[in-house]
């Protein structure tokens, strides 16, 4: 019987667990852009030491999910319209690659699983909780990335989707967006069910570009409002 330790089960480090749970809290919209991630609050939330929290925050800062402001601490990152444009450009290509790979290589069971998640999302409707909607979209992409059978595309798109999470929350804040999202995702699923590789590519790319159009309109409006508020504060201080 080999005794090299290769089959031994080892628990994940606490820091890794905190990192994963904090990332999920940001991606799911529990923590929104601009929220202050104070050491005390995170220590109480996760029940760990300040050193563990700071290491997890440092790693999420490297991913762009957190900004650490000198003398103020860490905050959930905001995305500027320029940054959002770049993210959507990259996401459009990666998502189209993942969709085409899924149409080519996914099993029939995975296609049925994708259809099932989509039907849950379609049935949720605009009255559904935003966090629940984001969770359903997350599950949709988990199936898509697993079934595309391209580990590099899956890894890169997963990272982009993490960075893109607050943008998905932004687009869902538009009450008119959800029906269009469902129609666009239906087109993706139906192209996959036909094993239409190029049709899936186009449907995935179009879905991302439509989401980008809505998100950038909202972000540009927010940027204008923030600029006006800054000018008003500066005038009041004079």
Interval 84-111: pLDDT, tens: 899 999 999 999 999 999 999 999 999 9
Looking at the structure, do residues 156 and 203 belong to the same domain, yes or no?
Answer: yes
Looking at the structure, do residues 123 and 25 belong to the same domain, yes or no?
Answer: no
Interval 114-163: pLDDT, tens: 999 999 999 987 777 777 888 888 899 999 999 999 999 999 998 888 77
Task: Let me know if residue 161 belongs to a domain.
Answer: yes
Q: In this predicted structure, which of 2-16, 148-162, 183-197, 199-213 has the lowest mean pLDDT? A: 2-16
Task: Let me know if residue 111 belongs to a domain.
Answer: yes
Looking at the structure, do residues 199 and 126 belong to the same domain, yes or no?
Answer: yes
Task: Let me know if residue 138 belongs to a domain.
Answer: yes
The residue with greater pLDDT, 130 or 210, is 210
> Is the per-residue pLDDT at 9 higher than 50?
no
Task: Let me know if residue 218 belongs to a domain.
Answer: yes
Task: Let me know if residue 4 belongs to a domain.
Answer: no
Percent of the chain with pLDDT over 70: 89
Looking at the structure, do residues 154 and 187 belong to the same domain, yes or no?
Answer: yes
As a whole number of angstroms, the distance between CA 119 and CA 135 comes to: 14
Q: In this predicted structure, which of 21-25, 44-48, 234-238 has the lowest mean pLDDT? A: 234-238
The residue with greater pLDDT, 196 or 164, is 196
Q: In this predicted structure, which of 44-48, 184-188, 233-237 has the lowest mean pLDDT? A: 233-237
Looking at the structure, do residues 202 and 125 belong to the same domain, yes or no?
Answer: yes
Q: State the total domains in the chain.
A: 2
Q: What is the CATH number of the domain that holds 47?
A: 1.10.10.10
Looking at the structure, do residues 59 and 171 belong to the same domain, yes or no?
Answer: no
Last residue of a domain, one of 58, 76, 94: 76
**Containing structural domain, residue 29:** 14-76
Last residue of a domain, one of 76, 103, 122: 76
């Amino acid at each position: 019987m080999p005794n090299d330790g290769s089959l031994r089960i080892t628990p994940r480090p606490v820091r890794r667990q905190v990192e994963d749970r904090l990332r999920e809290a940001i991606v799911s919209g529990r923590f929104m852009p601009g929220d202050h991630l104070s050491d005390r609050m995170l220590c109480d939330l996760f029940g760990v030491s300040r050193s563990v929290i700071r290491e997890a925050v440092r790693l999420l800062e490297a991913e762009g999910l957190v900004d650490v402001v000198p003398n103020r601490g860490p905050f959930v990152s905001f995305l500027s319209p320029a940054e959002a444009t770049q993210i959507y450009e990259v996401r459009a290509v990666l998502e189209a690659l993942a969709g085409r790979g899924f149409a080519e290589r996914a099993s029939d069971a995975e296609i049925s699983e994708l259809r099932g998640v989509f039907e849950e999302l379609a049935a949720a409707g605009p009255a559904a909780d935003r966090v629940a909607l984001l969770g359903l979209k997350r599950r949709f992409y988990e199936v898509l990335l697993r079934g595309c059978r391209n580990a590099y595309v899956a890894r890169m798109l997963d990272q982009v989707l993490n960075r893109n999470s607050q943008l998905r929350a932004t687009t869902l804040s538009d009450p008119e967006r959800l029906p269009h999202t469902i129609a666009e995702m239906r087109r993706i699923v139906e192209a996959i069910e036909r094993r239409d590789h190029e049709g899936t590519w186009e449907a995935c790319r179009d879905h991302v570009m439509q989401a980008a159009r809505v998100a950038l309109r909202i972000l540009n409006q927010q940027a204008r409002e923030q600029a006006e508020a800054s000018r008003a504060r500066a005038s009041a201080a004079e």
